[in-house]
Structure 1
Amino acid sequence: MERDQDKKKANPVIGASILGLKAEVARKKEEAEKRKASGDPLQITSTKTFKKPKLQNKGVEARAAKDAAPENKPDIYDRPEIADERVFLELKRKAELYDLKKRLGDGDDVDEEGRNIPDEELVDYLQKKHDEESKEASQRDSALASLENSDWVEFIDEFQRKRLVRKSQLPSMGLKFVKGTGVVDSGYTVGPELVSQDMLREQERLEWESEHREDAQASSSNTQEQLPFFNYKRENRQMGVGFYAFSQDETERRKQQDELRQLRVNTEIAQKVAAAMKNSRETRVDDRRKMIGERAKRRERMRQGGGEMVDRRDYGGGEEQELLEEGEDLLDLVKKIRSKFD
């Protein structure tokens, strides 16, 4: 009951406040309508003034003056790089058209796209093509004539390689199976350039028979004790296989064999010395590694209070003596190897 009475007492206050609020809203609306009718702004304008900054970026005034100036832009093709590119493209188009008409060479007037064009060119392509062909033919003939008359000659050796040497050098090269160009061929008579395989085989067979005939005559004239040396020219081996061609002269042949034998001995000595040095180096590295390990163990024992004496050699004092001893051992080894071969 008391609560209901309290509510009843509060109701008049709430009603009065609502009526006052409505009256205030009506008054504000009326003022807004009057202000709107008189043209005054509905919102309150701020009286604060904003000042523009005086600082400007660089070049603003210059760009503004440039924009305000009358438009006088140069043509894009007036620029040097653009003009050069334009000239290049135009010349390229004309060159393609020129090549096309020169290939045709029969008076057909067409452009690069196959369209007919009026007869306005000042170039006689048919006559120009004929003149160029005759000029190229004359140049080839003159080049061949100069090659035949010059001291240089091109030939193909036994390895199918084209070489250009002087005529005077061909006989001294000693190449037998040389197919030349018809000018000079290592002192051998050469037929025409267009030679079939059968003719080449026949020529080689004749040369082989002549060599065997000469060898037979030489062997018959010699005594039975003087046997002929091995002739590498008789051996049928593949092209490019390396071999040592000894001379047929006995003195020169013995000299060449002695030189070859000495080269072999020197090579074997160098190989054995290199192997001995490698083994010695590996042994020295292993000994050094063991010595370093033992030194570390001794230091650890001394740190723990063992008080063991350390040899000076552990600290590198005897390394020079070891190197000297190793060099003496290598010299002794080289002397032993040389005495064995001698």
Structure 2
Amino acid sequence: MGDLYIGLMSGTSLDGVDAVLVDFAGKRLQVLGHRSAPFSDELKSELLALNTSGADELHRAALAGNAVSRIYASLVQQLLSDLQLNASRISALGAHGQTVRHRPQEFDGTGYTLQLQNPALLAELTGIRVVADFRSRDVAAGGQGAPLVPAFHHGVFREPDQTVLVLNIGGISNISVLPAQGPVIGFDCGPGNALMDYWCQQHTGAPYDAQGRWAAQGTVHPALLEIFLKEPFLQKAPPKSTGRDLFNVAWLNSKLQHFAELRPADVQATLTELTAQACANTVKQYGGGATLMAVCGGGALNNHLMHRLKDLLAPLPVEPTDVLGLPVMQVEACAFAWLARQTILGQAGNLPNVTGAQGARVLGAIYPA
């Protein structure tokens, strides 16, 4: 074991952190360890609140970034303990941070993307070199700064004789089209779990709709679904990316204002169908000739959502990324281990064709151990 990296990912679903320890020494990466930890209710609420402007937000954001980094550090220590490894064996940590604002190309033409964490604190707590702030360089180069995972998907999932699709359904959904020949296509499709999770929390108290059972009890409301699907982002041509800046509580409430009579379960069913149709429409438009769609992220554990994707895309096989060798909850964390390695090696981590950046760029900032 001589090419070890740790990837740390906390996504827009706000369900917590996934950490993986990856060995890149062989022909195919090998995940040696995986740990996860939920955010406390208090931290989750604060991170969600920081998605919009509020009182004393610079102070609150700094403290939230410290808290995220402490959770990261705890998971790193657990991984090292599990594998009885010394921190000195790890080449670097790739730490994504928690996205609270994502507004590329807006306001002044450049815009910004903001992921809360404290990489210097993480380096201090772990004694390991940290690579962080992956998205900003792509934004500075005129790109969206997202999605970054298609470059990783291309590196590990591409097949030489067929087109493979990789669909990540986190808080937001994004797709990678990996053709046997030609450039990779990748962009955000629209909402993933974020709206479904919010509605479920509000009406059942559960943080998410486990296996989609609640949605399956409801009935899709065609008129509401039509309003959802008219969202201009869904028709926009790539490159494109989005987040809770658009698909948030205010967006949902604005669409529901004339549907107060709907049962909450029917709204949940319609939100699930929105995610399914936004993803399926993307595949139909951009995924022609594909022989497999592999799904990762928390959405891959939503049985009802997966059944709807299979129905909408039949006869295209729709399977979890486990069939390609990576469990669904490890893919994104592995991507940030891979991106950290790209940074350390001085190699590009973005795909300009995906993000719209002016060219390939080495991403991230390095905080020495």
Q: Aligning the two structures, in what range does the TM-score lie when normalised by the shorter sequence?
A: under 0.3
Structure number with higher strand proportion: 2
> TM-score scaled to structure 2, two decimals?
0.18
Structure number with higher helix proportion: 1
> Which entry has the higher C-alpha Rg, 1 or 2?
1
> TM-score scaled to structure 1, two decimals?
0.19
**Greater relative CO (CA pairs within 8 A, separation 6+):** 2
